[in-house]
Amino acid sequence: MTPPSSGILSSASSLLSGRHILVTGVANRWSIAWAVVQSVVKNGGRVTLTYQGESQKDSIAKLMEELPEENRSSLLLPLDVRNDGEVAKVAERLRSEGLTLDGLVHSIAFAKREELDGAFLDTSREGFLMAQEISAYSLVVLCRAFAPLMASGASIVAMTYLGSERIVPHYNVMGAAKAALEASVRYLAYDLGSSGIRVNAVSAGPIKTASGRAIKGFIDMQKAVAARAPLKGQDLTSEEVADATAALLSPLMRAVTGEVLFVDLGYRQMGMV
Ligand code: NAD
């Protein structure tokens, strides 16, 4: 697979100038979260990254070296969303460094591979709860931990997918988790709105990442979008999803909260054809 182009210096803007964004969910350079990091940097923002588990640490540290120093904090912190202690430590560390946040990107999901194949009817209790905990409840956990570090005007964005509201064969347990995630976005938008903090989701079309490829039939999902979406004949890129995310993180979207923004070449708007 060809790595996505860096794009860091293409079409630079100052949309996110002076804004510090905590980005979760970078696993490798194909991760949507890594494209978001590049878009934040390209638009003048500064990032702090977290990683899930020691196995990711060195490769993410190496990726970070590709970013201009002025656009990243020196912190790279472990954060497994099932581990309340780690979440609290990230917040404490930011606080002790005197860092505040203008944005948070939740780009995290997990389901057991066997739950993304076969029938939803066969979903195990453990698999259902695990997908909900990591992919949906984690947004509540992160908002509770990091909203106190945010001032009015901050923006939180989570990544979701159409399988939350439509039947996408094999998406199964993750569809239920994304439905919970999107409902959580709305309730969190309500709770945090009085502090001037916005909460939205980006619903991305299929992108070839480690998580995407774990879903049986993923290639067919991509082909369907390329064939049927109004913006036809092209594969959606992670850069396009990331730029929309950067827009939501920016003050241009200051009156938008509780929304799910579809970045899918228009595929969701199609009827049966
Ligand atoms: P990815 O595999 O690169 O990213 C998933 C991330 O979740 C990884 O960084 C992984 O470390 C993290 N994660 C899993 N369990 C975790 C835990 N317990 N604690 C902390 N982090 C954990 O894949 P991606 O496609 O970039 O996925 C990012 C987000 O985008 C997910 O929410 C996914 O559902 C969503 N999304 C992806 C697509 C797609 O087609 N790839 C489409 C729509 C939405």
CA 75 vs CA 57, 64, 93, 107: distances in Å: 12, 10, 9, 18
**pLDDT tens figures, 4-15:** 655 444 567 899
pLDDT at 9: 47
Closest-CA residue, ligand 1 atom 7, reads 108
Query: Does ligand 1 have an atom closer than 6 angstroms to the CB of 38?
Result: no
Number of residues that make up the chain:
273
Superfamily of domain 20-263: NAD(P)-binding Rossmann-like Domain (3.40.50.720)
More confident of the two residues 116 and 5: 116
Dig out the tokens for 133 from the structure.
């905990």
Query: Does ligand 1 have an atom closer than 6 angstroms to the CB of 81?
Result: yes
pLDDT at 4: 60
Strands of the sheet with 260-263, listed across from one edge: 72-78, 46-51, 20-23, 101-106, 150-160, 198-204, 260-263
pLDDT at 259: 98
**pLDDT tens figures, 140-152:** 999 999 999 999 9
pLDDT at 217: 86
| Active site positions, annotated | 161, 171
* Residue 273 Cα to ligand 1 middle (Å): 31
Residue closest to 52 by CA, chosen among 60, 44, 42: 60
Which of 1, 22, 29, 32 should be mutated for ligand 1, with most atoms under 8 A from CB?
Answer: 32
User: What does the angle CA 112 – CA 241 – CA 34 come to, to the nearest 5 degrees?
Assistant: 65
Query: Does ligand 1 have an atom closer than 6 angstroms to the CB of 221?
Result: no
- What's the predicted TM-score (pTM) here? 0.96
How far is CA 26 from its chain centroid?
9
